[in-house]
Structure 1
Amino acid sequence: MRNKKLYSNLYSNVVLAGGALLLFTLPVQAADNPPATSVQENQIVAWTTGNSIWTLPYGLAGANYVGSTNDYVGRDVQLVQKMTVNNVVWYQFRIDGQVIGWLDSRALSGLQNVQTMNQTAVMGATGTNGVWSMPYGVAGANYVGSTDLYTYRDIQLVESATYGGVQWYKFSVGGKVIGWIDRNALDNAGEVQAANFTITIGRSYNNGIWTVPYGIAGAQYVGSTNDYAYQTVQVVKTVKRGNVTWYQVMKDGKLLGWVDGEKAASSLTNVKDENYAAVIGFSAKGDGIWSAPYGEYGASWVDSTNRYSYQNVQVVQSATKGTVTWNKIMAENKVLGWVDARVFTKTVSNIKDENRIALIGDTDGNGVWSTPYGENGASYVGSASNYDSRPLQIIRSLDKDGVRWYYFKVDGHEEGWIDGKAISSATNIQALNKTGHVTNAAGNAVWTKPYGMQHANYVGSAADFANQNLNLLQSATYNGVTWYQFKQNGRTGWIDSRAVSLGEVTLADQFRTIGDNNQLIVVTANGYGTNLARIRTFERVNGTWKQLLDMNGYIGRDGFASKMSENVVQSPRGKYSIGTAFGRYGNPGTKLPFRQITPDDVWVDDSNSALYNTWQSRSATKGQWRSAENMDISAYNYGFVINYNTDRTPGAGSAIFFHVSDMYTHGCTGTDQQDVISILKWLDPAKNPVIIQSPESELGNY
């Protein structure tokens, strides 16, 4: 039928619809499609405007839109079929084996001889070539970067094509496609040579490792060759630029970069990693530790080897320069530098770091040496006797020929080495810088060394140093006894610590009559004509007298009596025991026997009475005395009896107390009420307390 006639060509038809004129194109029917021919060609999609991908060439019946050709710009495509429609050549293409659709041939790059390949090449150093997303000139080709970024690097050529008479290559690095380059960018002249040999990197001040040889545009600094000083590296490429031969080097499979082959390489041979312990012996004046083997470019002095004499070091590398073997050493996990291997000694062993204090014991025939005696360069420093009683700080020890040697300091200064047999067995040696005094002179003496040590000589009796402050310098334990070394008025010696108490000599230490007393009150005045007194208290603790209180007070109006009697207003001199405590307001907390004062209490001062110098009840003893002192007064708020005239010798004096007072007394000793209470609380009959009253000038009588 005519309405089913197949048209072989597109034609236009005009239809009047609703008064509008519509113009449309009728598709070519499938039965009239042009024939398609098979092709097998590689091409690249270029950038174009208005081109699309269709399931069939555009205009054929059933042609559906797939996408824009610009979605595939720069992509490699395989052309599989060709068809001409209305004088336009169309290609069916696929990517990675998958058919994508049909595109207008004008959307292709126009490259010729597009071929995949897999060939290794080396990028040259042209300085003018670039890397492009597609061969330069193809529509949509974008600049990726300079070829200088890849100068002298191995690259992989993965595709080739010809465009405008120029051969182009697509390349990859490390499996990643980078872009397209003109063949002139390759090292076509073969400047770069593959290599396979090792060199030892030397030490220098200004040599670097570069991404490409220095001077090439884009060369970037990687690091200093000093980071690999005296390490062996593999040379994998060489290239000569001007007068300089450059090496591309690798370490442990990792590509480092390019180095100046002449300046970076060392002349050392037999460079080896090491790992063993060694001992530096005594060295000549010129022996040192160097940043690199002496004579190497940039080698600089680090330190003298003598600073590390007879210390353990770790050898971590060795090398030969000329005829000399050099070793790189470490100490305490720190690289020190390089030393001539001849500085090591093999005659010592068992080196130990120490930190202890010792004293010289045996001085006969022993000396101090710059190095252990018998070692090369050992010189005599001085006699061991020069260090008698001086604390030696032992800092190192070692064995040599069966002898233990010790290296020591004195006062922070390194002195030398001494045979271990000269060191005493004294332990616990400590600096003191304290003050002490002799408190147990009986049977004790002062010696030049702790008694029992060789040449410990007698200095004098401990009693010769009694009542003197001793400057205690140090202590040491020897044969189970702790000894003190002291200095006093230019004299020095050692004394058994059991004869000494720490602290300065007190007034109590000077008395000879208080051996059985452990509490002491001392009341003194500046001569006889004053009633102003100084009152001090002392207590013996663990054999040592300690001063506790020091206060002002008062004695009798006319001071101390040269001869005490009932008729003077003076205070008695002497050493007296402590009697009963008393008070008007109850016991303040004293350990002494305490008596509460009542209004009826008196102290009889009638020399003719049988009750003379006793505490009595007024009402109970009425008529037995003619005079007595009233006890119920404010001065006796608190106090204690001084046991004076306990034999109650008539007329010798009575009612001698220690009580509250803010002025002179009639023969008693007085001070502030709070101080009286403090003394009452402190006094303890178990400690056999006594009171000494005397002018200062006569204290030696006690």
Structure 2
Amino acid sequence: MKKLVKSAVVFAGLVFIGTSATMITEKASAASTDPVQKVDGQATYIPKGVRDGTATEEHDGFEDGTNSVLQQVPLLRATTGYPDVNAYIKSNKFSTAKIEKQLKSQFPKFNYRNGYGKPEGIVIHETANNSSTITGEINYMSTNYNNAFVHAFVDKSRIIQIHPTENGVWGAGQYANARFIQVELVRSKTFDEFARSINNYAYYAAYLLDQYNLPVDSAHSDGKGTVWSHDAVTRYLGGTTHTDPVAYFNQWGYNFNNFVSLINEKYKAMQVNYEKIEYDKAITAYSRVKTATGNSVWTKPNKTEGAKLVNPLSSYSGKNLRIIREAKTSGGTIWYQFSVGGKTIGWVDSKALNTFYTPSMEKTITGTRYVLPSKQTVHYYGLPVEDSAIDRGPLSKFNGQALTLQREATIEGQLWYRVKDLGWVKAVNLTTTKYDLIEYDKAITAYSRVKTAAGNYVWSKPNKTEGAKQGSALSTYSGKNMRIIREAKTSSGTIWYQFSIDGKTIGWVDTKALNTFYTPSMEKNLTATRYVAPGQETQHYYGLPVADSAIDRGPLSKFAGQTLTVQREATIEGQLWYRVKDLGWTKASTLTATQYDKLEYDKAITAYSRVKTATGNSVWTKPYRTSGYKLVNPLSSYAGKNLRIIREAKTSSGIWYQFSVGGKTIGWVDSKALNTFYTPSMEKTITGTRYVLPSKQTVHYYGLPVEDSAIDRGPLSKFNGQALTLQREATIEGQLWYRVKDLGWVKAANLTTTKYDTLSYDKAITAYSRVKTATGNSVWTKPNKIEGAQKISALSTYSGKNMRILREAKTSSGTIWYQFSVGGKTIGWVETKALNTFYTPSMEKNLTATRYVLTSKKNEHYYGLPVVDSAIDRGPLSKFSGKTLTVQREATIEGQLWYRVKDLGWTKAANLSAKKQ
């Protein structure tokens, strides 16, 4: 659509008269006052892009050609040298393209100003794009439809409809959009292509006018008619400034009058005589839409006189169409008149429908049926189709009645029966069995137990009613509390109970098989005040006076100490129950009329205490003045003992401690009567490594930093030499304790930071040694590196001396040590490797001999061992001169032979003689 310019130009061989833009504006303004343009909801006809301000009518992306042209005087024809287009078309006998439909679901749908399917004419457009194609134009418009869109596109070989012509479009300004069908012509590159496109265009325009019973009447020159150029819309209606297709037509030596003339020829060719109705008769059938596309509903069979469009057939897709008349026209088409919901709609080509019921589908039958109780609300109909117009009401009217069958029909795979004096009903709603009916079915509240299990079962519904299925034997539930939730009575007079167990619905049972032990009628009003009895806090309360987990509301502990208002009572199986306001039911035995101290809390704690004030204080089985408390002992019985605190409770009278002694729980005492010397809060986190002091191996460790036999974990000897990891410390009564990882608590004094050697053994021995290596060796109070070992002196102090070995010890490091004495005085310990041992008892040998003291040796001495040591000197041999001495053992010590004489001791062999002197 080309825009006008403000000048006049004469092209060679073709006369145009230029019209100023101002003139067009004035005409458009005048047209806009025409009452016919005042359409309700006029904004509907303005493109969304224009309303949103993202486009204008002049710049909407469509027909925005850049070649300036002038508006042609309509009655003139170009003389460019091209053949006469209409004559060219006729001489070549061009056929017309088939109308294709590519409807775009994304396009907005709105009615014309006079309503759906009521266009007033057609607007002729051209695309103003020399390089575009019909598919390219459609694709572009499909994306940019918010700026503009039309009903169809035409080119040399195709006619493609993209929007229903029953609805309006946005193609030529708001006033034309409200009134007209609009079609775009795609530009051609040759005269022949142009002629072919004009042939298709004129045919399609004539087709549309004929479809909507509109005459061919050009509006190009006077603004009145059914065939409008976009240019005429600009000049007479306004709302647009485009002037197509005038200039494009002139390009090929063609004008709008020529085009209207061609439309008229094709329109007349389409006019035919009205078809006649060969017959029109009443019939009964039901159909549904089979082919909606291309089919419409008419007031009379189409192409008969007076036939008018009602609606597209698609409006009735999926609905049951009752066929009430059939007519055949002289064209051979059979038409059906149909109604929907009892309202007559119109006529439709029978080929567009699928008929699913006709009376010929019925067959005669005999039989008796009953209404299925579950189908009482289902309806029956005048024909075997679910249609509200022939609905005769629910089947409930015929419950329990014997129904006589007369006919059957299978409609869309579903069997229907016609019942005498009633009508049609689906076969699935009837049964050959006469079921019991439910006379009533109501919710009730009760509790029962099995009384007679033999011969009774649980059913999914009351037995002998429709759908009832046998479940388990009633004996399955013997002894259980059965909550009765519904009661039903059947037409046979039996009363049935539906029951649940533990909150799960089980099924129905004959009431005669049960013993009901609770009903609400057993309850009585009562007004009283009660308290949760101490010791009963863990007892539960319930929704009803039955201990049933499904109605368990929790423990009474929530209400300990509270004043409870009793409203009702019921004696259930000999046991009295109370209903407490806002709570529920609990056994009367769990409540008391006395208000005890309430436990605000009772929690496990860890602490150690001793008696501080024995006078006036006692030990109780429970905190004093709480339910069930009894005297245990006066507190003085535990004076001076370590009391392990195991629980703490708070009552309205104070804080109480439960304690144990020696691992035995004793009772409760007022915390004010005690002095607590340990709590976990006294502990601190530390790190470190310690070792068991060897001298403390017999000391014990404990579960807590208190010496209590109940938490004694054994002696430290298990961990000798092991590195112990410290985790915590606590100073308890001035004494530091350590908690060792994986062990427990021990007094810090029992551990050391030094890793001492331990003694593998320490035994008494007899030997004599002398210093071999004095350098680097010392004498110690204990074997060196043993706990408590202290240096005495350098070993050199004892060089050359006879060192009597008293004890031998081996340490964990593998070293052997000797404890020695000199001159009878114990000195200390020395490493054996520093000594040379010249006597051990192993050097001795048995000997039996008689000897006498040599007269010359009577002043020599004898000793306790074969070593000259004053500490074991037993005196001179003169005491035994002349006496016979019995020799028992001998030993060679440092090359010198010694004899041990019975009852005397050791003396050198040189001091004795085998002969008596």
Fold in common (TM above 0.5): no
- Structure scoring higher RCO (CA < 8 A, sep ≥ 6) equals 1
Higher helix share: 2
Which protein has the larger Cα radius of gyration, Structure 1 or Structure 2? 2
Q: TM-score, normalised by structure 1?
A: 0.40
Q: TM-score, normalised by structure 2?
A: 0.32
Higher strand share: 1
